[in-house]
């Protein structure tokens, strides 16, 4: 029963009592940036793997689940998503999904650490395939400051594609941050944020809902989806706005002219289904 | 980055290149039965854990996902599920879910290894809460032989709650086994079987579909759901029958008089949504 950890990368989390491991072919890169430690591995079965401060971020094999679910539900919920801001998302996978929508006129990606993007360009070129799209803007600066300085009613969708709400990522889950998002989005804009594991992190979800409401977002909706490399293999994204978030441009989604690997209109509806334990716990 | 495996149980799988671990409080039991090695652990965050031949089977915390999804979609797809057979399922969690349906008149559970049930009674009493229901029959014998000897048209639903299709579990994924199920179910019966990870085991799913069709089941439908302790954290159950399997007694499901922790009518519909990569690969 003993696990020989040689040639495996493991993310072990004491609080959740869980660990996930991928078998490695080789370590490709390791560096300490001014912000974090980034490692890149070549795995046996999941392609390339990016790890930041010991946490799995992106694998070649399963990132489509996360990136598609962070993007398409929000963009098909907004009636006309023209101006999109991505906070974090330095691997550029979310940006790539956003730019599949022809309605989008401007997609700003604001990640504090340029090295994430440079390493993604090298090791995950498929995620960076739209970086030179004329609608794409890559900024390497503080996303919180960016939102604070954004003009009122200047954005249609804000996607918070960040790390967990601990350490530097914590402020992205604060009422003050949501308040600035709310102002920059105006009445019709939609915020979407990764919201951790539905099973392991119900307290985080509950806090998010409360803070989003306190910040002036009257509506929330959480989408659940699989994400094998994240703790519990089950993840979520939460929409916030002041319009109905449980209906979306279903016909547009069903007739989309671009290709996805996970998302479609039925998957979107299915991801909105609320498990009974969440209803009982009044989590969301 | 090194993972100190002391006080963790790990299931590491070379073929999938993945491993999943749970942090342990203690080992509660270990025995070699005539059929397999059974271990019971007390974990830090997932309650009790049963492991068979090194593979995670059931945890107190997340078994509701699997047991509910193995049961309720099939029983709400059948118009009147009175006679139910469970092959495997020795932990009795599936039986417990089946007996929540008042229409069920007889629920036979046929697992070859009585020790699984005896240990479940001790360590997972909540799963065994319906074992003394007068409708329940617990048989400890060969499930394949049981189905072979079942009378024609004598069952409404067969639930194959088995281990992976390797070793002794393999025959439960064979055309011959499906042919006996088909005969015992008659025209209107429904077979449901656990069908592994949608991401990691598409070849198994594809084989299942082909063999089920060859055995005379004209219709198949796969339901995807989260299952943190199984490889990839994402699992599936596949329905087979000769009636429409993508619609179900939705109103009955929405008005069910019993309590679930995951399943409801929206979850059922959502689980039937087919991810794009499966459509592209023509997996199902």
Residue B244, exposed/middle/buried by CB under 10 A (0-12, 13-18, 19+)?
Answer: exposed
Q: Decide if A218 contacts A233 (C-beta within 8 A).
A: no
pLDDT of res. B211: 97
Average model confidence (pLDDT) for chain B? 96
Residue A21 to residue B2, Cβ atoms within 8 A: no
**What residues of A are in contact with residue B261 (Cβ under 8 Å)?**
275-277, 280
Provide the sign of the torsion angle of the four alpha carbons A205, B228, B159, B48, taken in this order. Answer: negative
Q: Whole-angstrom Cα distance, residue A217 to residue A175?
A: 11
Q: What pLDDT is stored for residue B169 in this prediction?
A: 80
Q: Could you tell me the CA-to-CA distances from B145 to B150, B176, B276 in Å, in that order?
A: 9, 12, 38
Q: Which residue has the tokens 């078994």?
A: B63
pLDDT for residue A202: 92
Cα(A45)–Cα(B201) distance, integer angstroms? 12
- The residues spanned by each domain of chain B are 8-59, 63-245+273-280
Per-residue pLDDT reduced to its tens digit, A4-61: 999 999 999 999 999 999 999 999 999 999 999 999 999 999 999 999 999 999 999 9
**The complex's ipTM?**
0.96
Residues of B in contact with A6 (CB under 8 A): none
Q: How high does pLDDT run on average in chain A? A: 96
User: Which pLDDT score is estimated for A207?
Assistant: 94
Contact B21, A19 (CB under 8 A): yes
Helix B175-185 to helix B202-214 angle (10° resolution) is: 50
Q: Which residues in B lie closer than 8 A to residue A16 (C-beta atoms)?
A: 45
- pLDDT (0 to 100) of residue B31: 98
Is the pLDDT at A1 greater than 60? The verdict is no
What gap in Å lies between CA B9 and CA B21, rounded to an integer? 5
Residue of B nearest to A279 (CA): B261
pLDDT for the residue A168: 74
Partners of residue A88 on adjacent β-strands = A161
pLDDT exceeds 90 at position B168: no
- How do beta strands B8-13 and B190-194 pair? unpaired
Contact A8 B19 (CB under 8 A): yes
Give the gap in angstroms from C-alpha A45 to the nearest C-alpha of chain B: 6
3-class DSSP string for chain B: CCCCCCCEEEEEECCCCEEEEEEEEEEEEEEECCCCEEEEEEECCCCEEEEECCEEEEECCCHHHHHHHHHHHHHHHCCCCCEEEEEECCCCHHHHHHCCCCCCCEEEEECCCHHHHHHHHHHCHHHHCCCCCCCEEEECCCHHHHHHHCCCCCCCEEEEECCCCCHHHHHHHCHHHHHHHHHHHCCCCEEEEECCCCCCCHHHHHHHHHHHHHCCCCEEEEEEEECCCCHHHEEEEEEEECCCCCCCCHHHHHCCCCCCCCCCHHHHHHHCCCCHHHHHCCCC
Contact A276 B261 (CB under 8 A): yes
Q: Please report the pLDDT score of residue B45 as a whole number.
A: 98
Residue A150 CA from chain centroid, whole number: 21
Strands B37-43 and B18-32: antiparallel
pLDDT range class, residue B195, cuts 50, 70, 90: very high
- Using DSSP, state whether B99 is helix, strand or coil: coil
The residues of A that are catalytic are 161
d(CA B139, CA B136): 10
- Chain B residues in contact with A62 by the CB 8 A cut-off are 199
Tokens of A85: 């801001």
Mean pLDDT of B70-78: 98
CATH 3.30.70.260 corresponds to the domain A63-243? no
Distance CA B57, CA B6 (A): 21
Chain A residues touching residue B275 (CB < 8 angstroms): 261-262, 264, 267
A55, A132, A122, A139: which is closest to A96 by C-alpha? A132
Dump pLDDT digits (tens) for A263-272. 999 999 999 9
What's the pLDDT at B124?
98
Is residue B89 within 8 A of residue B14, CB to CB? The reply is no
Task: Give the best residue of B14, B27, B226, B236 to mutate against chain A (max A CB count within 10 A).
Answer: B226
3-class SS at A155?
A: coil
What superfamily would CATH give domain B8-59?
Spermidine synthase, tetramerisation domain (2.30.140.10)
- Give the nearest chain B residue to A280 (CA atoms): B261
Residues sharing a CB contact under 8 Å with residue B193, sequence separation 6 or more, in sequence order: B159, B160, B162, B172, B173, B208, B237, B238, B240
> Chain B: residue nearest A233 by CA?
B233
Query: Strand, coil or helix: what is A36?
Result: coil
Alpha carbon of B234: minimum distance to chain A alpha carbons (Å): 6
For B88, the token pair is 């495997």
Task: Find residue A7's DSSP bridge partners.
Answer: none
- Residue A132's contacts (CB-CB under 8 Å, 6 or more residues apart) are none
Nearest chain A residue (CA) to B3? A10
User: Using CB atoms, which residue from B5, B20, B280 is nearest to A2?
Assistant: B5
The backbone torsions φ and ψ at residue B233, rounded to the nearest 5 degrees and listed phi first, read 70, 10
Residue A2 binned pLDDT confidence (cut-offs 50, 70, 90): confident
* Non-local CB neighbours of B155 within 8 Å, separated by 6+ positions: B83, B84, B85, B184, B185, B186, B189
Q: pLDDT tens, B247-281? A: 999 999 999 999 999 999 999 999 999 999 999 98
- Is A163's pLDDT higher than 90? no
Could you tell me the pTM of the whole model? 0.97
* String of DSSP letters for A48-79: EEEEETTEEEEETTTHHHHHHHHHHHHHHHSS
Q: What are phi and psi of A40, to 5 degrees?
A: -125, 130
* DSSP state, residue B231: G
pLDDT at residue B166 in the model? 80
Q: Which of these CATH numbers, 3.40.630.10, 3.30.465.10, 3.40.50.150, 1.10.3110.10, describes B63-245+273-280?
A: 3.40.50.150
Looking at residue A164, its pLDDT comes to 84
In this complex, which of A17, A45, A259 lies closest to B16 when CB atoms are compared?
Answer: A45
Q: Do A23 and B14 touch (CB under 8 A)?
A: yes
pLDDT of residue A17: 97
Tokens of B14: 């070379």
Answer yes or no: do A273 and B273 touch at CB < 8 A. no
The mean pLDDT of B61-78, rounded to a whole number, is 98
Residue with tokens 């398409």: A72
Tell me the mean pLDDT in the region B135-155.
97
């Amino acid at each position: 029963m003993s696990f020989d950890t040689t040639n495996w990368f493991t993310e072990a989390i004491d609080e959740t009592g869980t660990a996930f491991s991928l078998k490695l072919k080789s370590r490709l890169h390791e560096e300490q940036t001014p912000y974090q430690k980034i490692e890149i591995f070549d795995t046996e079965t999941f392609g390339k793997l990016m790890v930041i401060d010991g946490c799995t971020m992106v694998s070649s094999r399963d990132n489509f689940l996360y990136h598609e679910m962070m993007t398409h539900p929000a963009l098909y919920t907004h009636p006309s998503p023209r101006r999109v801001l991505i906070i974090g998302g330095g691997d550029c996978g979310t940006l790539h999904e956003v730019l599949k929508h022809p309605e989008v006129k401007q997609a700003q990606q604001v990640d504090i650490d340029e090295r994430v993007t440079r390493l993604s360009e090298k090791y995950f070129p498929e995620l960076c395939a739209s970086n030179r799209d004329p609608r794409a803007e890559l900024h390497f600066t503080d996303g919180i400051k960016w939102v604070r300085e954004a003009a009122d009613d200047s954005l249609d969708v804000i996607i918070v594609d960040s790390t967990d709400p601990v350490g530097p990522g914590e402020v992205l889950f604060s009422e003050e941050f949501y308040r600035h998002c709310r102002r920059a989005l105006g009445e019709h804009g939609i915020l979407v944020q990764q919201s951790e594991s539905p099973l392991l992190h119900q307290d985080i979800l509950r806090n998010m809902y409360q803070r989003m409401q306190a910040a002036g977002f009257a509506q929330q909706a959480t989408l659940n989806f699989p994400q094998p490399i994240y703790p519990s293999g089950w993840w979520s994204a939460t929409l916030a706005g002041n319009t109905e978030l449980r209906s979306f441009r279903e016909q547009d989604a069903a007739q989309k002219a671009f290709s996805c690997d996970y998302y479609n209109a039925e998957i979107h509806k299915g991801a909105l289904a609320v498990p009974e334990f969440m209803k009982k716990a009044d989590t969301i």
